[in-house]
Amino acid sequence: MRTSWADTVASESSGGGALSANSLPFRSSYVPPHLRNRPSNPQPPALSPARTPVDPPRPIAGGRWSGAVGRDNSRPGIGCGNEIGVGWNSRAGGWDRGRVREPNPFANDAAAAEVDFGGLENSGINFDAYEDIPVETSGDNVPPPVSTFYEIDLGPELNENIRRCKYVKPTPVQRHAIPISLAGRDLMACAQTGSGKTAAFCFPIISGILRGQSGPRQRGMRSAFPLALILSPTRELSVQIHEEARKFAFQTGVRVVVAYGGAPIHQQLRELERGVDILVATPGRLVDLLERARVSLQMIKYLALDEADRMLDMGFEPQIRKIVEQMEMPPRGIRQTMLFSATFPREIQRLASDFLCNYIFLAVGRVGSSTDLIVQRVEFVLESDKRSHLLDLLHAQRANGINGKHALTLVFVETKRGADTLEHWLCMNSFPATTIHGDRTQQEREHALRSFKTGATPILVATDVAARGLDIPHVAHVVNFDLPNDIDDYVHRIGRTGRAGKSGLATAFFNEGNASLTKPLVELMQESNQEVPAWLARFAASRASYGGGGRGRRSGGGPRFGSRDFRKDGSFSRFGGGGDYYGRGVGVGGGGGYGGGSSGYEGGSGVFTSAWD
Ligand SMILES: Nc1ncnc2c1ncn2[C@@H]1O[C@H](COP(=O)(O)OP(=O)(O)OP(=O)(O)O)[C@@H](O)[C@H]1O
């Protein structure tokens, strides 16, 4: 039987394999990391009564909120009460690893490595490609970056898992974001697609939980009390973050659970009942669990919003606001909040600042820019010619053997129906394809993604539900069969290729219907050192000359790449009270493609629902 490397390492680290599976004591109750050094407490936790924002959760003696005991003075939280407890709970020797029966989260990696991608795979992560990238930080007392993981005291278990993930050195966003978060600071971080943002927020959370000493929690309680909440806009992305976080938390005792819509809730409830330290969720399902009182946010210390600009976008913001402000979550300054995305329009930054306290703004590369590793091509294709043009591309790709025999191609279209008909047509023309969109059942969506990832159906036709965050190795080509109306959506879509330092190709079919995208597209291409076709440059110039440049963005004017941290714009009002910034009154609405169904998340009739539950 094949044994994975991670299995071997895991059995070595648990005592050289001395314990057989049969000899493992039955794990009768979930013991959170912060309790490993304590005598077991048979009493259920005293649940705090409902609190107002000025009445934070009751500090637990020696806990992070006490502010007096257990503080690591070398890394004080700044200004808002964020602070880090000392010491590695598991380091002190109280945790019996042999007690934890945990499926090996690295097992799928070993299986995936066996799929033949024609020599494409892991030719090595080339993060040197990011070395020269400009980095901007703003805010008070920004902690300095690190160069290696070992400069950061993440703890032995996490370091071991970093090694298992084969991460040799931190990516630029990790170099900056991890020390900032470990110092207890709130963070708004913008870094290019595929640059390692997931680890950048997961590592400090796991490390913080291992250091912390929160209140007790027992298995079988009706409500689960996670310490960290990671919200993401789509089910598939939540599943992916969960898988990643489980790898990072492997053998640490930190328990990660995922909750998302479209999947049976009872199974998720059972998982929650077994205890949870980090809850990864989509907002809709989370609200459901909160309303059923099956999850309580009272103990949340860490809140991370992945794809934060999407989470605070038009239509979604009220739900996030409800979760963050009306569901007993400790207020900002008590919890630590981290927002990550590759794009951060200024008005979304403004909204986001409501959730943050004296935060640091971090931009790795230009805000909203795309990585130079993606070769971007724009071709003029009439609507009526799109199918035959796509077929030509695919035939050429097949004939040239570009990127190996199982190179994956991701094709973005505007509508769910369009996705189905294109998939059918491709299959009829001997190009095995599958599709993912909001009208498919969750089971179908997950099956489609698996089939694509393994190369069984090397073409995936998708709506924007697949545009953000998905990390699918071997996507060699992204085709924008229908371009989005918003340049940020374009950035995220093409970011499904050219990840983790690898190169990729993105082809866009452009015609008069995409006129509003011309200017931002040309700007984006120029700043990513792409060759702009002469016809496109002329078209952009002619539109500019009669004032129809179009922004294709929601940003409401101003230079696109001016000040990155909106606090530097000078266009916001600043009120006292701990250095937070309020610029409300600038709406997010009005054009930009967010109501028209082209880039909305599966919102039929302008209603954004199905990707959210
Ligand atoms: N330090 C590292 N060394 C090597 N690989 C890494 C490192 N950090 C992350 N990766 C890998 O890089 C890939 C991209 O990471 P991730 O999905 O976190 O990117 P991202 O910045 O969140 O992208 P997106 O903006 O599209 O969501 C993943 O396969 C991840 O495992």
* Residue pLDDT, tens place only, 476-510: 999 999 999 999 999 999 999 988 888 899 999 99
- pLDDT reported for residue 370: 74
User: With 50 as the cut, is the pLDDT of residue 64 above it?
Assistant: no
Nearest to 51 by CA among 295, 329, 319: 329
Instruction: Take atom 8 of ligand 1 and give the residue whose Cα is closest.
Output: 196
Cβ(492)–Cβ(193) below 8 Å: yes
Question: Under DSSP, is residue 423 helix (H, G, I), strand (E, B) or coil?
Answer: helix
Pick the more confident residue, 219 or 3.
Answer: 219
pLDDT tens, position by position, 552-591 = 443 433 334 334 788 877 655 443 333 333 232 223 333 3
User: With 70 as the cut, is the pLDDT of residue 31 above it?
Assistant: no
Ligand 1 contacts CB of residue 342 (under 6 A): yes
Distance 513 CA to ligand 1 centre (A): 34
Q: Which helix (H) or strand (E) holds 348?
A: helix 346-352
Pick the more confident residue, 9 or 100.
Answer: 100
CA distance 289 to 281: 10
Instruction: Take atom 1 of ligand 1 and give the residue whose Cα is closest.
Output: 170
Which band of pLDDT confidence, cut at 50, 70 and 90, is reported for residue 30? low
Ligand 1 contacts CB of residue 194 (under 6 A): yes
Supply the mean pLDDT for the chain: 76
Q: Residue 5 contacts by C-beta under 8 Å, 6 or more apart in sequence? A: 106, 110, 164
Distance 11 CA to ligand 1 centre (A): 27
Residue 250: both structure tokens together: 């492997």
pLDDT tens, position by position, 421-478 = 999 999 999 999 999 999 999 999 999 999 999 999 999 999 999 999 999 989 999 9
Cβ(286)–Cβ(326) below 8 Å: no
For residue 77, give the amino acid letter.
G
CA distance 475 to 462: 13
For residues 75-86, give the mean pLDDT: 43
Stated pTM of the model: 0.79
- pLDDT reported for residue 45: 39
Ligand 1 contacts CB of residue 170 (under 6 A): yes
For residues 316-337, give the mean pLDDT: 94
Pick the more confident residue, 609 or 410.
Answer: 410
Ligand 1 contacts CB of residue 495 (under 6 A): yes
Distance 504 CA to ligand 1 centre (A): 15
CA distance 101 to 594: 45
Instruction: Take atom 16 of ligand 1 and give the residue whose Cα is closest.
Output: 196
- pLDDT reported for residue 92: 33
User: With 50 as the cut, is the pLDDT of residue 135 above it?
Assistant: yes
Residue 399: both structure tokens together: 């004939």
CA distance 362 to 190: 6
User: With 90 as the cut, is the pLDDT of residue 126 above it?
Assistant: no
For residue 344, give the amino acid letter.
F
CA distance 203 to 530: 34
Distance 315 CA to ligand 1 centre (A): 28
The strand pairing partners of 280, in sequence order, are 230, 258
User: With 50 as the cut, is the pLDDT of residue 128 above it?
Assistant: yes
- pLDDT reported for residue 108: 72
Cβ(256)–Cβ(278) below 8 Å: yes
Question: Under DSSP, is residue 257 helix (H, G, I), strand (E, B) or coil?
Answer: strand
Distance 174 CA to ligand 1 centre (A): 10
Which band of pLDDT confidence, cut at 50, 70 and 90, is reported for residue 373? confident
- pLDDT reported for residue 84: 41
- pLDDT reported for residue 76: 37
For residues 391-399, give the mean pLDDT: 91
Instruction: Take atom 30 of ligand 1 and give the residue whose Cα is closest.
Output: 196
For residues 48-56, give the mean pLDDT: 33
Atom from ligand 1 closest to the CA of residue 237: 27
Distance 223 CA to ligand 1 centre (A): 33
User: With 50 as the cut, is the pLDDT of residue 235 above it?
Assistant: yes
Distance 489 CA to ligand 1 centre (A): 19
DSSP single-letter state for residue 315:
T
Cβ(341)–Cβ(309) below 8 Å: yes
The strand pairing partners of 477, in sequence order, are 409, 505
Distance 110 CA to ligand 1 centre (A): 18
Edge-to-edge strands, sheet with 374-380: 374-380, 504-510, 475-480, 408-412, 459-462, 433-436
Ligand 1 contacts CB of residue 232 (under 6 A): no
β strands within 80-234, DSSP E: 135-138, 187-191, 228-231
- pLDDT reported for residue 221: 72
CA distance 101 to 121: 31
